[in-house]
Amino acid sequence: MKEAIIKVLGFLGLAWWVEVTTDSPRCTYYFGPFLNEQEAIAQKEGYIEDLEQENAQGITVKIKRCKPSHLTIDESGESMGFRIPTLSGQPS
C-alpha cells in the first residue's frame, strides 16, 4: 500500500527526495522517493556516507518535494543514471 501511495505522490511531484550536490565530481544526485520529509531526513546520512567513501567533495544536501527526471546529473547537465523507475527500490 505504501509503495502505491509513493508512486502516486511521485507522479504528481509531491514525493519527498534527498537532493545531494557535490563540487567534485560536479554532480547532482536524487535519492528517493519518500512518503514524507521525516523518512527522507532519516535516510540522508547513509547517502552522504556513501558519497564521502567515493571521495566526493563539497557535499550539499536538500530535502524537497520534486519530480526529478534523472537520478544523477553531471556538471554538463547530461544524465549519468537511469530514468526513474515506476517504483524505486527504496529501503523499507
Q: Where are the domains of the chain?
A: 2-74
d(C-alpha 47, C-alpha 61), whole Å: 10
Phi, psi at residue 75, to the nearest 5°?
Answer: -60, -25
Amino acid at 71: L
Euclidean distance between CA atoms 69 and 82, whole angstroms: 9
The grid coordinates of residue 81 equal 543514471
What's the pTM value of the predicted model, to 2 decimals?
A: 0.76
Whole-number pLDDT of residue 78: 52
Q: How many percent of the chain have pLDDT more than 90?
A: 63
Half-sphere exposure of 57 (CA within 13 A, CB side): 3
- At 51 the pLDDT is 94
Q: Are 24 and 74 in contact (CB under 8 A)?
A: no
